[in-house]
């Protein structure tokens, strides 16, 4: 049973709890011993019934308590139990009775697991590491015994010729891993000590050896036997001191420098974040770096304290230094440090102490521990010298010795002056070095305090900034509890801030819809609050959700300002009674309510954009942006980034923060692609993909942004002809032309001319504060006869221009505008009747191939049939024109 | 107004299948904050991990793409799971600096270095 406990992989504490529950007193005794709970082990053993098993248990408990003699006596009562024999052999070996130990081991079978470990251990101690390794060949590798097997094997590997430190480290690695699960502190300490020996045997491993020694030290001091502690001391004597000295010399200052540099960097970052925030830039990167810098500083502080502890385990005075440094780092403000530093310095030895600050030409006293504390009088040169050199000095006479400890600090260097009493005047060797360490640590602590203050100030500024923001801001934690709310948000919610803070939104009356929107991280969603409708934009972050609330009316206005385009026109602005025109309007009204893409065609000036705006304003999307982009007006190379946006750094000249494209800006509104017929062919494929996938990816970005805008396209071109020419993609045409509205040219609805003339003259008069202007009948007749190549736009410009030239008191246009006279005399071609430019035959052939391929969805056989040529010929021509 | 400031580090990790990779990171203490077919956003205190879909992983140079510090218990769980699948796999090792280190691969094959602190002296007893 006991051997089973030694080779069980379950955590020892779990086994112990189970044994307690089941009142297995012997198991409790053994497990408590393995966990170094010696009192519990002794008590349980006392309660256990007597017998050979109990005797074996007693031997184990005694051996684990570091009492081999008692273990031997107990083992002899076990009636030849193999485990007891093995424990006895170990006890004998521990007391240097190796011969007798071998005799005991000889009574055991070679396969006995504990016996194998003891054999190996004695072999290793006797300088026969090879034998030790052989003894362990079949030893178990699980449970506590397994961990011990690993350690003894590692020790043997290290003692071999040549030593195999790598294999030894691997063995210990595995052993410590098992021990981490099991939880046997003494065996863990032994493994750490063995690791220290491995590192000490490795070139350059001195510092690491010291660290492992430092880890082993508290475990073996608290839980190890006297044999362990003796071994620990030997390790310190053998290689610890050199490693420790090196650690002190090299590591300590590095740690201190790390703390100082970390604090200084954190301060810079705090300032940078604050400046970026104030300047409207995104401070998140600087803030993330700030947190990292603070974390590093904290880690370095821990390293520093750890190094001090590890460095000089058995030096009382260094222990005091560690305590003082630890206490220093608990002080958060410059004021606390000023007040406490002299008192803390006294703990390193001295009668009184004062803290002086360099000020101009002199020094002022900031704090003192007593009336008798030294001032700067008479020692100013020494104080300056200590500050210049940066290390502590001891000056004065035998009767009155002063220790001067410089503390460098960006906001005013300080000096601690310690007065030693005559009785303690003899400074121990190395005292100045320890005082220098205190000075460096104090300097780091001051810098840290300064950084903490800067961070606090930045947080206060953030809060003030948040308060100044006109948008409502709401921050919720993971549980939906409101952590922060600014005045604007509280105002929109119609509740005082104290009622909101610390509550969930669902707990607040009338805010259920807002809670839902925030929980699902809604983007630009309209939510009705009790008093006002708001636009909610919520964003998840690691700690919860941040939401902005904007009053709907203001949000709409802001969006329109941002995109620089607004839908001002409604169907009332579209004037005409011609049946073709009215048909188009009727279709447009119907389509406004249906969420499908619309293609509006018509000659220039027929009012395509007006109609698009009217559709938008009559649609459910009217409260969302109307964003127009004139495809023909934007340079080809900029069109893609204009439409789809770009991430920062996507190309030279890109804005540092990236740029949202028109698709994004249109959001849930309407995107007008004006003059779509002029879109470059290659761009059409990209647009098609966006329309098909309903998602857009910014240039240089990887994230697909959903497209929620309705697309309305306009063109003055005959797209079907453009498709035939191979200049426009058939698939895009079908995608855009779900509904096709055609606005007739004005010459086809000449009957509307008087209405339009009157409409634009009335508008002009109202705009300019003039009396209504009419048109004489003969002039109107001429206007109706005119072909209006520029359509309604030309008409509006013409009549407003003529009206503007009328004398101030005139109210009628009596003369035919000169343009119309010229037009009548010339036989200008109609705008739609411009002849196609001359194109080389090869180009025509290439376009024919493209058209056929496009119409046949890339099917070459069908395309060849459509063109009436053989497939082989088609392929040859494709190759010639580079078509694929 | 009291502000509870929280800052997190963000790590973007390309994976072949975000939903398939997510459970691996869940066992390392992350929880899923948001997920779709192309992206799973996972969080644990102080760290946000975004698993981004990619068609093919770029070859690494043998170095881990991600380093995570976890508790001993978590590391043990990860190791035991891997050990079940591949009994000959080398287990966590002790780094010379004094931490357990285990190199795992997520379901997409990304190398992940997982470290855990040594057992605390008090916790051992």
d(CA A33, CA A43) in angstroms, rounded, equals 11
Instruction: Of A194-208, A457-471, A481-495, give the range with the top mean pLDDT.
Output: A481-495
Q: Which of residues 166-205 of A touch B (CB under 8 A)?
A: 169-170, 172-174, 176-177, 179-181, 183-185, 188, 195, 199, 205
Confidence of residue A661 (pLDDT cuts 50, 70, 90): confident
Is A315-455's fold the same as A469-560's? yes
- The per-residue pLDDT for range A766-793, each reduced to its tens digit, is 888 888 889 998 888 888 888 888 889 8
Q: Lowest mean pLDDT: which of A289-303, A349-363, A416-430, A868-882?
A: A416-430
Residues B92, A177: C-beta atoms closer than 8 Å: yes
Instruction: Using a CB–CB cutoff of 8 Å, tell me whether A477 touches chain B.
Output: yes
- Give me the pLDDT at residue A309, please: 56
Structure tokens at A420: 């030693």
CA distance B21 to chain A (A): 19
Q: What is the mean pLDDT of residues A475-491?
A: 86
Q: What chain A residue is nearest to B76 in terms of C-alpha separation?
A: A181
Residues B124, A188: C-beta atoms closer than 8 Å: yes
Residue of A146, A180, A200, A274 to mutate, testing the B interface (most B Cβ within 10 Å of its Cβ):
A180
Residue B3 lies in a domain: no
Confidence of residue A816 (pLDDT cuts 50, 70, 90): confident
- Paired residues of A358 in beta bridges: A363
Closest among A286, A302, A293 to A263, alpha carbons compared: A293
Please report residues of B whose CB lies closer than 8 A to that of A208. Answer: 96-97
CB A387 within 8 A of CB A413: yes
Residues A179, B124: C-beta atoms closer than 8 Å: yes
Count of domains observed in chain B: 1
High-pLDDT (> 90) share of chain A, %: 16
Residues B98, A212: C-beta atoms closer than 8 Å: yes
d(CA A618, CA A569) in angstroms, rounded, equals 10
Residue A156, judged by CB atoms within 10 A of its CB (0-12, 13-18, 19+), counts as buried
User: Read out DSSP for A835-877?
Assistant: PPPP--HHHHHHHHHHHHHHHTTT-HHHHHHHHTS-HHHHHHH
What does the angle CA A465 – CA A467 – CA A468 come to, to the nearest 5 degrees? 65
Please report residues of A whose CB lies closer than 8 A to that of B93. Answer: 170, 173
Q: Which of residues 484-543 of A touch B (CB under 8 A)?
A: 484-486, 497, 501, 521, 540-543
The ipTM estimated for the assembled molecules is: 0.79
Closest among A658, A573, A662, A651 to A612, alpha carbons compared: A573
**SS3 for A643-693, per residue?**
HHEECCCCCCCCCCCCEECHHHHHCCCEEEEECHHHCCHHHHHHHHHHHHH
Pairing of strands A472-477, A544-551: antiparallel
Structure tokens at A577: 């009674």
Residues A463, B100: C-beta atoms closer than 8 Å: no
**CATH of segment(s) A315-455:** 3.30.450.40
Instruction: Using a CB–CB cutoff of 8 Å, tell me whether A468 touches chain B.
Output: no
Please report residues of A whose CB lies closer than 8 A to that of B48. Answer: 541-542
Pairing of strands A482-485, A472-477: antiparallel
Residues A501, B45: C-beta atoms closer than 8 Å: no
- Give me the pLDDT at residue A832, please: 39
Residue B1 lies in a domain: no
Q: What is the mean pLDDT of residues A574-590?
A: 90
Beta-carbon-side half-sphere exposure of residue A31 (alpha carbons within 13 Å)? 24
- Give me the pLDDT at residue A149, please: 93
Selected residue with higher pLDDT from A664 and A269: A664
Please report residues of B whose CB lies closer than 8 A to that of A704. Answer: 38
Structure tokens at A753: 């001319």
Q: Which of residues 538-577 of A touch B (CB under 8 A)?
A: 540-543
High-pLDDT (> 90) share of chain B, %: 16
Contacts of B69 (CB under 8 A, 6+ apart): B114, B115, B116, B117
Instruction: Of A549-558, A756-765, A838-847, give the range with the top mean pLDDT.
Output: A756-765
Please report residues of A whose CB lies closer than 8 A to that of B114. Answer: none
- Give me the pLDDT at residue A394, please: 81
d(CA A210, CA A363) in angstroms, rounded, equals 42
Beta-carbon-side half-sphere exposure of residue A839 (alpha carbons within 13 Å)? 12
CA distance B31 to chain A (A): 10
CB A745 within 8 A of CB A780: no
Residue of B35, B39, B121, B122 to mutate, testing the A interface (most A Cβ within 10 Å of its Cβ):
B121
- The per-residue pLDDT for range A209-231, each reduced to its tens digit, is 877 887 887 788 778 887 887 78
Structure tokens at A517: 């929107």
Class assignment of domain A469-560? alpha beta
CA distance A38 to chain B (A): 11
Please report residues of B whose CB lies closer than 8 A to that of A172. Answer: 94
d(CA A632, CA A644) in angstroms, rounded, equals 16
What does the angle CA B14 – CA B15 – CA B18 come to, to the nearest 5 degrees? 115
pLDDT of A429 higher than 50:
no
- Give me the pLDDT at residue A428, please: 41
Q: Provide the residue range defining the domain that includes B93.
A: 9-54+63-124
Q: Report how far apart, in Å, the C-alpha atoms of A738 and of each of A624, A872, B2 are.
A: 22, 37, 54
Q: What is the mean pLDDT of residues A443-468?
A: 77
Residue of A274, A542, A545 to mutate, testing the B interface (most B Cβ within 10 Å of its Cβ):
A542
Q: What chain B residue is nearest to A169 in terms of C-alpha separation?
A: B94
- CATH architecture for segment(s) A564-742: 3-Layer(aba) Sandwich (3.40)
Nearest to A542 among B1, B8, B39 (CB): B8
Confidence of residue B16 (pLDDT cuts 50, 70, 90): very high
CA distance B61 to chain A (A): 23
Inter-chain contacts counted by CB atoms under 8 A, chains A and B: 109
Residue B4 lies in a domain: no
Instruction: Using a CB–CB cutoff of 8 Å, tell me whether A296 touches chain B.
Output: no
DSSP A423: G
User: Read out DSSP for A505-537?
Assistant: GGGSTT-HHHHHHHHTT-SSEEEE-SS-EEEEE
d(CA A598, CA A605) in angstroms, rounded, equals 18
d(CA A585, CA A576) in angstroms, rounded, equals 10
- Give me the pLDDT at residue A252, please: 60
Residues B94, A177: C-beta atoms closer than 8 Å: yes
Q: What is the mean pLDDT of residues A329-333?
A: 82
Nearest to A176 among B7, B94, B96 (CB): B94
Average model confidence (pLDDT) across chain A: 81
pLDDT of A160 higher than 70:
yes
Nearest to B118 among A183, A215, A463 (CB): A215
Q: Report how far apart, in Å, the C-alpha atoms of A750 and of each of A743, A753, A782 are.
A: 14, 5, 11
- Give me the pLDDT at residue A656, please: 43
Closest among A349, A345, A388 to A368, alpha carbons compared: A345
Q: Lowest mean pLDDT: which of A459-473, A575-589, A782-796, B26-40?
A: A459-473
Residues B38, A704: C-beta atoms closer than 8 Å: yes
**CATH of segment(s) A841-881:** 1.10.10
CB A617 within 8 A of CB A659: no
Mapping DSSP to helix (H, G, I), strand (E, B) and coil, where does residue A774 land?
strand
Nearest to A467 among B1, B10, B41 (CB): B1
Q: Where are the domains of chain A?
A: 1-91, 315-455, 469-560, 564-742, 746-826, 841-881
Confidence of residue A248 (pLDDT cuts 50, 70, 90): low
- The per-residue pLDDT for range A701-713, each reduced to its tens digit, is 777 888 889 999 9
Q: What chain A residue is nearest to B93 in terms of C-alpha separation?
A: A173
Class assignment of domain A746-826? mainly alpha
Here the CATH number for the domain that contains residue B99 is 3.10.180.10
């Amino acid at each position: 049973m006991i051997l089973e406990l030694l080779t069980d992989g379950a955590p020892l504490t779990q086994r112990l709890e189970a044994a307690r529950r089941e009142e297995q007193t012997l198991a409790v005794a053994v497990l408590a011993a393995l966990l170094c709970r010696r009192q519990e082990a002794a008590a349980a053993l006392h309660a256990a019934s007597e017998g050979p098993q109990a005797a074996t248990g007693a031997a184990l408990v005694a051996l684990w308590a570091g009492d081999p003699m008692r273990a031997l006596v107990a083992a002899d009562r076990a009636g030849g139990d193999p485990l007891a024999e093995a424990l006895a052999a170990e006890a004998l070996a521990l007391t240097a009775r190796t011969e007798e130990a071998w005799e005991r081991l000889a009574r055991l079978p070679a396969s006995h697991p504990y016996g194998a470990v003891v054999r190996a251990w004695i072999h290793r101690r006797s300088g026969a590491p090879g034998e030790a390794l052989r003894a362990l060949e079949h030893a178990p590798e699980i449970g506590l015994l397994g961990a011990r097997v690993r350690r003894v094997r590692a020790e043997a590997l290290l003692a071999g010729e040549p030593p195999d430190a790598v294999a030894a480290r691997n063995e210990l690695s595995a052993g410590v891993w098992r021990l981490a699960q099991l939880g046997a502190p003494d065996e863990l300490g032994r493994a750490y000590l063995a690791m220290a020996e491995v590192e000490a045997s490795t070139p350059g491993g001195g510092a690491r050896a010291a660290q492992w020694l430092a880890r082993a030290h508290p475990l073996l001091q608290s839980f190890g036997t006297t044999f362990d502690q003796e071994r620990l001391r030997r390790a310190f004597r053998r290689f610890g001191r050199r490693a420790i000295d090196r650690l002190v010399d090299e590591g300590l200052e590095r740690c201190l420098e790390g703390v100082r540099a970390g604090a200084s960097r954190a301060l810079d970052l705090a300032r940078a974040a604050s400046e970026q925030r104030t300047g409207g830039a995104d401070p998140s990167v600087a803030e993330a770096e700030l947190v990292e810098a603070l974390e590093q500083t904290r880690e370095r502080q821990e390293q520093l304290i750890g190094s001090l502890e590890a460095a000089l385990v058995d030096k009382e005075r260094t222990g005091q230094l560690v305590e003082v440094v630890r206490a220093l780092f608990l002080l958060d403000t410059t004021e606390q440090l000023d007040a406490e530093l002299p008192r803390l310095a006294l703990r390193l030895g001295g009668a009184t102490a004062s803290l002086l600050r360099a000020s101009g030409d002199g020094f002022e006293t900031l704090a003192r521990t007593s009336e008798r504390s030294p001032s700067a009088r008479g020692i100013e040169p020494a104080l300056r010298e200590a500050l210049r050199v940066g290390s502590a000095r001891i000056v004065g006479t035998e009767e009155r010795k002063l220790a001067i400890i410089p503390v460098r600090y960006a906001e005013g260097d300080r000096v601690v002056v310690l007065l030693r009493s005559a009785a303690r005047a003899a400074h121990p060797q190395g005292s100045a070095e320890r005082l220098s360490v205190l000075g460096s640590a104090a300097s780091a602590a001051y810098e840290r305090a300064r950084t903490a203050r800067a961070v606090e100030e930045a947080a206060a500024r953030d809060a003030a900034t948040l308060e100044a923001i006109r948008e409502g801001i709401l921050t919720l934690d993971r549980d939906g509890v409101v952590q922060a709310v600014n005045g604007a948000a509280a105002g929109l919610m119609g509740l005082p801030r104290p009622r909101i803070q610390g509550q969930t939104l669902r707990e607040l009356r009338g805010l259920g819809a807002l809670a839902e929107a925030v929980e699902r991280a809604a983007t630009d969603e309209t939510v009705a609050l009790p008093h006002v409708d708001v636009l909610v934009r919520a964003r998840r972050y690691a700690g919860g959700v941040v939401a902005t609330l904007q009053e709907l009316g203001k949000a709409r206005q802001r969006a329109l300002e941002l995109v620089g385009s607004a839908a001002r026109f409604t169907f009332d602005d579209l004037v005409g009674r011609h049946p073709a025109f009215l048909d188009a309007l009727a279709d447009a009204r119907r389509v406004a309510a249906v969420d499908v893409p619309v293609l509006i065609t018509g000659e220039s000036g027929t009012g395509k954009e007006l109609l698009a705006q009217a559709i938008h304003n009559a649609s459910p999307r009217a409260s969302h942006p109307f964003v127009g982009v004139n495809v023909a007006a934007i340079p080809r190379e900029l069109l893609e980034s204009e439409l789809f946006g770009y991430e920062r750094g996507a190309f030279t000249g890109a804005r540092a923060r990236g740029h949202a494209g028109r698709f994004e800006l249109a959001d849930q509104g309407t995107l007008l692609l004006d003059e779509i017929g002029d879109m470059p062919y290659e761009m059409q494929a990209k647009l098609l993909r966006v329309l098909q996938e309903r998602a857009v990816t910014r240039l240089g970005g990887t994230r697909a942004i959903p497209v929620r805008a309705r697309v309305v396209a306009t063109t003055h071109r005959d797209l079907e002809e453009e498709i035939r020419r191979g200049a426009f993609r058939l698939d895009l045409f079908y995608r855009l032309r779900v509904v096709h509205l055609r606005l007739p040219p004005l010459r086809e609805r000449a009957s509307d001319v008087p209405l339009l003339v009157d409409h634009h003259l009335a508008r002009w008069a109202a705009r300019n504060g003039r009396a209504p202007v009419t048109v004489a009948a003969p002039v109107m007749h001429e206007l109706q006869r005119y072909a209006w190549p520029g359509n309604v736009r030309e008409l509006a410009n013409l009549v407003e221009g003529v009206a503007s030239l009328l004398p101030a008191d005139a109210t009628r246009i009596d003369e035919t505008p000169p343009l119309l006279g010229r037009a009548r005399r010339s036989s200008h071609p109609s705008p739609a009747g411009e002849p196609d430019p001359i194109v080389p035959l090869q180009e025509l052939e290439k376009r024919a191939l493209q058209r056929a391929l496009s119409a046949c969805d890339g099917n070459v056989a069908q395309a060849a049939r459509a063109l009436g040529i053989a497939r082989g010929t088609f392929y040859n021509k494709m190759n010639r024109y580079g078509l694929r | 107004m009291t502000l509870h400031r929280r800052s997190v580090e963000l790590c973007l990790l390309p994976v072949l299948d975000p939903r398939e990779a997510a459970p691996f990171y869940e066992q390392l203490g992350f929880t899923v904050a948001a997920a779709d077919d192309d992206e799973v956003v996972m969080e644990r205190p102080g760290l946000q991990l975004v698993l981004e879909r990619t068609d093919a992983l770029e070859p690494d140079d043998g170095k881990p793409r991600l380093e995570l510090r976890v508790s001993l218990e978590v590391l043990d769980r990860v190791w035991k799971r891997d050990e079940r699948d591949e009994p000959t796999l080398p287990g966590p090792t002790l780094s010379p600096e004094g931490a357990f280190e285990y190199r795992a691969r997520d379901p997409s094959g990304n190398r992940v270095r997982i470290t855990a602190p040594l057992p605390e002296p008090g916790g051992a007893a």
